[in-house]
Amino acid sequence: MRKTTTVRATVESKLKAEAEAVLQKLGLTTSQAITIYLKQITLYKGIPFEIKIPNETTIKALEDAKQKKNLKVFKSAEELFEHLEI
């Protein structure tokens, strides 16, 4: 299908650069990623993923992770599973 329209969006420079770095590793251009996103919206008849406000526990965990606080480090998957008691 021939492309006949342009989509313009204003986003933070850092966000654009970080996203483009990921897309490059995936072998996609920004235009291709946007096309995939729009196609998924039409297939799902809505946003193709859940959008919600995180609860207080999740917010705290995200902040802790950013600050590298309260992190547990394991030497192996086995050690992790022992800790989780699975």
Q: Which of 80, 77, 61, 58 is nearest to 69 (CA)?
A: 61
pLDDT at 39 over 80: yes
Amino acid, res. 22: V
Mean pLDDT calculated for residue range 29-56: 96
Residue 86's pLDDT is 63
- The per-residue pLDDT for 3 is 79
Query: Cα–Cα distance between 77 and 19 in angstroms, integer?
Result: 29
Predicted local confidence at residue 4, as pLDDT: 86
Give the up-direction half-sphere exposure of residue 50: CA atoms within 13 A in the CB hemisphere: 3
* Overall pTM surpassing 0.85 (yes/no): no
Q: How confident is the model at residue 7 (pLDDT cuts 50, 70, 90)?
A: very high
pLDDT surpasses 80 at 17: yes
Does 3.40.50.300 match the CATH number of domain 1-51?
A: no
| CATH 1.10.1220.10 domain span(s) along the chain | 1-51
